[in-house]
Amino acid sequence: MQKTRWMSPRLALAGGLALLLGLLLGGCGFDGVQSTLEASGPVAERQAEIFMVTVWVSVGIFAVVGTFLAYCIWKFRYKGEVTPDTPLPDQGHGDALTEIGLILVSVFLVGVIALPTLKGIFWMWTVPEGEDVMEINVVGYQWWWRFEYPEYGVVTANELAMPVGRPVKFNLKTMDVIHAFWVPKLGGKMDLMPGQDNWLWLEAGGGTAGDLNRATWQVENGGVFYGQCAEFCGESHAFMRFRVVSLNDSDFRAWLEHQRSEAVPPATPEQTAGRDAFMKNQCAVCHTIRGVPGAAGLVGPDLTHFGSRLTVAAGIKDNTVENVKQWLTDPHAMKPGNTMYKAGYEAMNINLDQAAIDSLAEYLMSLK
């Protein structure tokens, strides 16, 4: 009787552990788009190295302690049948020499982890000297990103370009709550704090994105990196993403030059209708399109070169006409609680009909 009573909880435990392990390993992958283990820049490499030191020390401790534990459980198990009258085994206090030895080993191992960690922290706190460091201002909003290039007068949103092999200092500010700037493959992360100016520096290594043709900006060639807000900041925190495109020097200069230019005027009647719909439906209250008189809003993303971006809705969807239409039709469904829906559609009672949505999408995508 007693045996069968013991079997089922053990089986349940084993089953539960197997399930948990399966779930945990299911999330594993060293080559995901946001894998910190596939480092593509010096900062990320350094951080991955320190992480691996910690992993190997921990694996070593686990192996030694686990082996001793298993050996002791096996060697000193009670061999008779256990009844309520079975006495406890002899109780001992332990061995002073062993305990002091274990403390010394622990202190040594903490040192093994702490030394490279502290060196790494100081290294990351210092922007490389003597190099041509570029500055990019990052401004967090619920739930999107503004990127400013103060030296060049360029403003963009949810997608930043940076030159390969050149350190970039990111100045971090928030317009509302705490966000965190994180590009897993390049390194990070750092909080955007209200009332406090934080910064971090990163450098994009690896391949380049080739030319400025969107079609060649592929994740596979290492030129496009995924970014993610890493601090819970409201209901659409998980949808606060962005992309980093690393470009070689001449491509980067061309990109800057292009981003600095004003928006192209509509080239077709459909695009003209889209620009008219943009002005008629109050979009310009929140959005800037440089080159369009009256479109100078600062609440939402700058749309001057919207069509040149890889994604729509802060990194959630590929930037295609279909997805832009979906976004304009029901932004709340794609990004719950977003400002365009709440302060725009809802508060200003904006109702876009299908014709307006179609022409708006055409126009926005033409803003390369």
Contact footprint for ligand CUA (CB under 6 A): 140, 143, 179, 229, 231-233, 237, 240
The helix/strand/coil state of 134 is strand
**Nearest-approach distance from CB 158 to ligand CUA, in angstroms:** 12
Closest approach, Cβ 335 to ligand CUA, in A, equals: 12
C-alpha–C-alpha distance, residues 321 and 226, integer Å: 22
User: Rounded to the nearest whole angstrom, what is the least distance from the CB of residue 341 to ligand CUA in the complex?
Assistant: 17
CB nearer to ligand CUA: pick between 134 and 186: 186
- Nearest to 251, CA basis, from 224, 211, 213, 219: 211
Least distance from ligand CUA to the Cβ atom of residue 238, Å: 8
CB of 83 to ligand CUA, least distance (A): 58
Q: Count other C-beta atoms under 10 Å from residue 131's C-beta.
A: 11
Closest CB to ligand CUA among residues 134, 240: 240
Q: How far is the CB of 315 from ligand CUA (least distance, A)?
A: 12
Q: How many alpha carbons lie under 13 Å from residue 4 in its C-beta half-sphere?
A: 1
Contacts 24+ apart (CB under 8 A), 218-221: 219/33
Q: List all residues 6 or more positions away from 235 whose beta carbon is below 8 Å from its beta carbon.
A: 336, 337
Partners of 228 in the beta sheet? Answer: 182, 241
Backbone angles phi, psi at 265, to 5 degrees: -70, 155
Tell the smallest beta-carbon distance from residue 6 to ligand CUA (Å): 47
User: Closer to ligand CUA at the Cβ: 176 or 276?
Assistant: 176
Q: Which is nearer to ligand CUA, 158 or 366 (CB)?
A: 158
Q: Quick one: 209 or 229, whose CB is closer to ligand CUA?
A: 229
Q: Which is nearer to ligand CUA, 231 or 362 (CB)?
A: 231
Inter-residue contact 182 to 228 (CB < 8 Å) = yes
Which DSSP helix (H) or strand (E) runs through 59? helix 42-75
Residue 226 pairs in a beta bridge with 243
Q: Which is nearer to ligand CUA, 166 or 237 (CB)?
A: 237
Residue 43 and residue 202: Cα distance in Å, rounded? 6
